[in-house]
Amino acid sequence: MYVAQPIEWTERGVVMLDQRRLPAEEISYTYTDYREVAKAIREMVIRGAPAIGVAAAMGVALGVEKSKAGSVEELKAEFSEICEVLAKTRPTAVDLFWALERMKGRFAELVSLGSDFGKIRAAMIAEAQLVHLEKKATDEAIGAYGAEYMPRDGQVMTQCNAGALATGGIGTALGVIRVAYQQGRKLHVLVPETRPYLQGARLTAWELMRGGIPLTLITDNMVGHFLKTGKVGAVVTGADRIAANGDTANKIGTYQIAVLAKENSVPFYIAAPISTFDLTIPDGSHIPIEERTAEEVTHIQGVRIAPDVPAAHPAFDVTPSRYITAIFTERGVAKAPYTEALKKLSLAQAVKVAG
């Protein structure tokens, strides 16, 4: 089954598929400067929490690889700057900060072992590639746990794009759907457009179509209608940050889907890796919500659709954990009470990368 490749480490640089151009064009760029990688994250060439983490790890590796520092001491100063530039790209997806912490930890370890520049360079590239490989393994495991909760024959709703494009693996929410479908469950996916950036219409619809999974595209204001009348067996979405009590930030619009799912007795699931947990914050009120430009609301693909008026664009909302039936992770399934369940999963054995 077709799996999109949003990002790849190559000897020429970091290759990214430009998700802003999909589905009309499949265009890739090769980045050779970490600042370009940061710009690509900010401008949505690559998006989706886990994929942003992979991009950040590769951005750090690229910065070290191309560094002109004359000594490891000089490299240390530059390393901090590289991480800071990448950290300032998108505030909500905690995978970004998780990946930066991981690369910082590996760097500090190499420096403390007295490694020379050449060794550090090779090891940072290897670490970024490992982060990518782990995302692939993680998605497969999430898919296996979540698939069991999908209907045997029926409709499933998602939101935004939590597919291969968003992770670098098979996807989280779409990974669950993909595994369930491959197991023989007869799923039909309801895909909300996900205004204003249209990740549902442009990306999820494209991924499902390429993967041969049946779907129907709907507009965001049809969600309530379909949950009430459409025999939806489950909703499954991704996540950008999950607080210690299970409150979950995801693409704007997810909260209203969760509330409407509960109102209509449809189970609402989150599929996300442990790297999306932020157990340092007690609840969702502490999650920073990215504000994007008004132009993404007043324009579609550069074409003005509204008069020149103020427009708001909070890119994410927070779903209180009371609306979440279960959270699928690579280490198992969390259910309420979430504080205990998430803590237990965060301490469980990590998924191993084959080979």
Catalytic residues: 240
What minimum distance in Å lies between the beta carbon of 95 and ligand MRU?
A: 8
Binding mask 188-207 for ligand MRU (x = CB under 6 A): -----------x--------
Q: Nearer Cβ to ligand MRU, position 238 or 284?
A: 238
The distance from CA 331 to its chain's CA centroid, rounded to whole angstroms, is: 17
Q: Find the binding residues for ligand MRU in span 89-118 (CB under 6 A).
A: 93
What minimum distance in Å lies between the beta carbon of 50 and ligand MRU?
A: 5
What minimum distance in Å lies between the beta carbon of 250 and ligand MRU?
A: 5
Q: Nearer Cβ to ligand MRU, position 106 or 292?
A: 292
Q: Which residues of 176-207 are buried (b: 16+ CB within 10 A; e: fewer)?
A: bbbbbbeeebebbbbbbbbbbbbbbbbbbbbb
Read off φ and ψ for residue 110, nearest 5 degrees: -65, -40
Instruction: Rule CB under 6 A: say whether 47 interacts with ligand MRU.
Output: yes
Instruction: Rule CB under 6 A: say whether 131 interacts with ligand MRU.
Output: no
What minimum distance in Å lies between the beta carbon of 321 and ligand MRU?
A: 17
Instruction: Rule CB under 6 A: say whether 315 interacts with ligand MRU.
Output: yes
251, 199 Cβ separation under 8 angstroms: yes
Stretch that binds ligand MRU, among 103-111, 212-220, 234-242, 300-308 (CB under 6 A): 234-242
Out of 3, 49, 60, 345, name the contact with ligand MRU by CB under 6 A.
Answer: 49
Q: Nearer Cβ to ligand MRU, position 82 or 272?
A: 272
Provide the token pair at 87: 């950290």
Provide the token pair at 138: 């993680």
Q: Nearer Cβ to ligand MRU, position 120 or 198?
A: 198
Q: Which of 237, 54, 76, 260 is nearest to 142 (CA)?
A: 237
Instruction: Rule CB under 6 A: say whether 169 interacts with ligand MRU.
Output: no
What minimum distance in Å lies between the beta carbon of 252 and ligand MRU?
A: 8
Instruction: Rule CB under 6 A: say whether 233 interacts with ligand MRU.
Output: no
Instruction: Rule CB under 6 A: say whether 162 interacts with ligand MRU.
Output: yes
258, 232 Cβ separation under 8 angstroms: no
Instruction: Rule CB under 6 A: say whether 240 interacts with ligand MRU.
Output: yes
Instruction: Rule CB under 6 A: say whether 138 interacts with ligand MRU.
Output: no
In sequence order, the 6+-apart residues with CB closer than 8 A to the CB of 224 are 256, 260
Q: Which of 115, 127, 179, 109 is nearest to 330 (CA)?
A: 179
Instruction: Rule CB under 6 A: say whether 160 interacts with ligand MRU.
Output: yes
Instruction: Rule CB under 6 A: say whether 14 interacts with ligand MRU.
Output: no
Instruction: Rule CB under 6 A: say whether 50 interacts with ligand MRU.
Output: yes
Query: What are the residues binding ligand MRU (CB under 6 A)?
Result: 47-50, 93, 160, 162, 166-167, 172, 199, 237-240, 250-251, 315
